[in-house]
Structure 1
Amino acid sequence: MNPALKRHAALILAALLAVSAVLLPGRPALAGPLSGTVLSSATATLPSELAPLATGKRISYLSTTVKELPITATGLILTPKTGKNNKIVVWGHGTTGLADQCAPSTSQAVFWPEARAAIAELLRRGWTVAAPDYPGLGTALPHPYLIGGSEARSMIDSAKAARNLDATLGTQYVIDGHSQGGQGALFANEIASAYDGPLVLRGTAAIAPVSNADLFAPLIPGTPAQGYLVMALYGLQAVDPTVVPATILAAPARQKTGVLQSGCLNEILAAYAGLTASQLLVGGALPASVVTKLSHYVNPGQAAPSAPILLVQGTDDEAVPYVITAGPLVTELSAYSQPVQFIQIDGATHDGAVFQSTTTVANWIAGRFA
């Protein structure tokens, strides 16, 4: 057996034995006390922007799938060197790729500059930062890319793991994320009251979050963003085996799928950018059934949030359309009782919105903790 698979199998076996010992008959796994259990911890080498501000631990910890089965996940816990208080902020990173080498906790090449800037400001406020990789990045499982419920569970469980590592941390936490991480943050807000146990979610900040996949996914074929769509198909397959990308992708696109394991985001985008719609997909368009499944798994706003929401969006975003965040997403989230604040950043690109909002977002988080 592959050593990574063998190690993962051993961890899952231990988790399953523990779960079977403590969960009450008929009680769902998400209500169990073990998610967030730290399975391993090692000193992490942090990027130069963060090393003066924090000490880091790379951890593996117990989380759950969208079907409530135990899995292992990985990530970083960053502890401020000065001014530390007892609050936790979870940072949800933007898309890095599908393969294990695309886990930010082990590869500084995909620990994006905008993520470093955002985390640095959080650390300066004295907050411990939990930065999950998301399931399947850094473990032997496939990564359920853009499956919001998967990202959400690993985010909440990373906050639990931070408390398990540091008994001085309190129960209050906020989730802050960008792009894929912004989408995960919104999903986490929807499941927090049922999933986070003793923790108290004070709010979620979502910068350029992915949403309304049914509106924009059909428009992607033939554009430079096609690599995102290919990854999304494989993300769907990770939770729904009836989705078979090999039957959806056209031959020229199928010939490039090796890059999904050999490369990360930039390599994937470059590999697919030049294809026409008919070279990407059989018939040049997404099947309606796939669009429906993307909508179900990818779109936040399908359930009531449990804490206030901050949305930040740049008007010149080249990856997540401004009109989708400012229009449908704001409307969908505002239909519930929790307050939604929307901040528009004129002229900001997808990553630029993070750089230009680090202080604004941190101030909003501070207000939530206050």
Structure 2
Amino acid sequence: MRVRLRAATVACTALAAVLLPVQAVPAAASPPTPAGTLLERSPLDPASVPAAAGASARLRYATLRTATAAGESTGSVFLPHGPAPAGGWPMVSYAHGTVGIADRCAPSTTGFNYVERPAVEAWLDAGYAVVATDYAGIGTDGVNAYLDGPAAGANAVDIVTAARRAYGDVLSDRWIVTGLSQGGHATYFAAAEATDRAPDLDYRGAVTVGAPTHLENLFPLAGPAVPPLPMPGLVNFSLFTLAGIDDQRPEVDIRRYLTPAGIDLMERAKVTCSVELGQYLRAHPVTIGELFTDTLWNDDVRAVLQQMLTAPTSGFDRPLRVVHSLADTTVPIPLTWAQLADMDAHGVRYEYQQLVTEDHTGSLMASMPAAVDFAGRVLE
């Protein structure tokens, strides 16, 4: 009786107090699907495929849902035209910038926007296969945990594994990761864990462009007393972040910090792509302070935000290239200066390209010639 009761207690702790010795012990839960497992391969809408791509596919694969939970994501694979070179096409894992968190915003559904499609085309023209995660929750169940860096970084790594399983030796095991804005934030996380997360692959380096960092020190300051700030898109980004926390971190109860208007806008953010949300907010202006009834500066919320937002400042075992522009008002460059100072303190070696006149989105293509050169050096 004791043996059976112990087994039942281990298998179903919540019911231990009421289990009878004659009851069967529930079967153990199935282990999570290994990261990078290919779950489905399907065709892409031809309208979403860049002109520079030959073969293409939409993949669904196992990965992280949040920093602390397993799940799945979708994404795209694009191969250059023509036969693969000896050893297969080397890969660029492309982490996209903010497009929204609704399923219909997924680049594998809609195609890449006018900002990022030229970059994808440039990588293909340079002779690299492009694998591009949608991020978990954009195209899969639930709401994307926006700026959950550990999850987004894992999404960008695991699609490389899934793509190799889909295409085999047509793809090389050599790869790099790159991204703009939200994708730049994801790139820091992917770069810090790529070798350990995908040991069967040959990770070679990363390029991060206009990445928001040190947000874990800024976002908890949000509250009713925050004055209007000259940062285009700040309300949009905040709403996407709040929406992801509301859906994926219910224990935080983020709604209790929000005004009725804040809750309404957060719900709108869950089903609206970035461009549409921006248009709505321009027609119906609201400040950060008007979203909140109370500050987020408390231990519980700060702990979650630190886990999600704190970009790695060490652990990079392959070359890292950082790009930011002095003219970027969407993600101000002092955030990257702080990131570089922290990486310097940890002895990280990196390349840094500081642009001067380009805005946030313009930084991507302005940095492409040097990024392609970087890829050629590290992937040779």
Settle same-fold status: TM greater than 0.5: yes
CA distances 1:315-347 after superposition (whole Å, capped 9, x unpaired): 11121111111x111112233454211101101
Kindly indicate whether the alpha-carbon contact (under 8 Å) linking 1:49 and 1:116 is maintained by their aligned counterparts in 2: no
SS at match of 1:258: helix
Structure 2 partner of 1:242: 251
| Residues 1:222 and 2:231 are matched in the alignment | no
Within 5 Å, give how 1:83-162 maps onto structure 2.
Answer: 84-85=84-85, 86=88, 87-108=90-111, 111-162=112-163
Instruction: Show the counterpart of 1:175.
Output: 177
Task: Quote the residue 2:10 is aligned against.
Answer: none
SS of the counterpart of 1:74? strand
Distance apart, 1:173 and its partner CA:
0.9
Q: Distance in 1 between matches of 2:357 and 2:177?
A: 25
Residue 37 of structure 2 contacts residue 161 of structure 2 at CA under 8 Å; is this kept in 1? yes
- The answer on whether the counterparts of 2:181 and 2:212 sit within 8 Å (CA) in structure 1 is yes
Letter in 1 for 2:308: Y
Instruction: Report the TM-score, using the length of structure 2 for normalisation.
Output: 0.82
Q: Aligned runs of 1:262-301 on 2, under 5 Å?
A: 262-272=271-281, 274-283=285-294, 285-289=295-299, 290-301=301-312
- Structure 2 counterpart of 1:244, one-letter code: D
Equivalent residue runs for 1:1-370 within 5 Å: 20=30, 34-46=34-46, 50-66=50-66, 69-82=69-82, 84-85=84-85, 86=88, 87-108=90-111, 111-168=112-169, 169-217=171-219, 218=221, 222-223=228-229, 224=232, 225-272=234-281, 274-283=285-294, 285-289=295-299, 290-325=301-336, 327-370=337-380
**Is the 1:61–1:161 Cα contact (8 Å) retained in structure 2?**
yes
1:114 alignment partner, SS class: coil
Taking a change above 3 Å as real, the CA distance of residues 266 and 286 of structure 1, as seen in their structure-2 partners, is farther
Q: CA RMSD in A?
A: 2.5
- Please report how far the alpha carbon of residue 210 of structure 1 lies from its aligned counterpart in structure 2 after TM superposition: 1.6
Contact 1:84 1:127 in 2 (8 A): no
Cα distance change of structure 1 residues 64 and 222 upon mapping to structure 2, 3 Å threshold: same
> Equivalents in 2 of 1:72, 1:216: separation in Å?
30
- State how far apart, in whole Å, the 1-side matches of 2:239 and 2:70 are: 27
Whether the 8 Å contact between 1:171 and 1:200 is mirrored in structure 2 is yes
CA-to-aligned-CA distance 1:202-259 (integer Å, 9 cap, x gap): 1110001121003443477634421211211233345532222311222222233332
Q: Tell me how far 1:348 sits from its aligned partner.
A: 1.0
Preserved CA contact (<8 Å) 2:98 2:274 = yes
Unaligned runs of 5+ in 1: 1-16, 24-28
- Contact 1:259/1:271, CA 8 A, preserved across alignment: no
Give the C-alpha shift of residue 69 in structure 1.
4.8
CA–CA separation in structure 2 for the residues paired with 1:176 and 1:194? 18
SS at match of 1:184: helix
**More divergent stretch after superposition (234-243 vs 77-86):** 234-243
The answer to whether the Cα contact below 8 Å between 1:73 and 1:135 also exists between their aligned partners in 2 is: yes
Specify the SS of the correspondent of 2:250: coil
Check conservation: 2:67, 2:148, Cα contact below 8 A: no
Q: What's the offset of the Cα at 1:45?
A: 3.1
Larger Cα-atom Rg: 2
Of 239-248 and 161-170, more deviation after overlay is shown by 239-248
Assess if the C-alpha contact under 8 Å between 1:301 and 1:332 holds in 2: no
Please give the alpha-carbon distance, in whole angstroms, between the structure 1 residues aligned to 2:258 and 2:304. Answer: 16
Check the 8 A contact 2:319/2:350 in 1, yes or no.
yes
Alpha-carbon distance in structure 2 between the residues aligned to 1:277 and 1:113: 28
Aligned in 2, Cα 1:61/1:356: closer, same or farther, shift over 3 Å?
same
Give 5+ residue unaligned stretches, structure 2.
1-26
Alpha-carbon distance between aligned partners in 2 of 1:366 and 1:253, rounded to the nearest angstrom: 47
Write the distance in 2 (CA, Å) between the matches of 1:91 and 1:47: 19
CA shift for structure 1 position 112: 2.0
Contact 2:96 2:183 in 1 (8 A): yes
Find the aligned partners of 2:267 and 2:69 in 1 and give their Cα distance.
29
SS in 1 for 2:363: helix
1: CA distance, partners of 2:129 / 2:277: 33
- Residue equivalent to 2:4: none
Amino acid of the residue matched to residue 356 of structure 2?
D
Give the alignment's TM-score, normalised by structure 1. Answer: 0.84
**Given residue 362 of structure 2, which amino acid in structure 1 is its aligned partner?**
G
44-53 or 99-108, which deviates more: 44-53
Q: Secondary structure at the match of 1:362?
A: helix
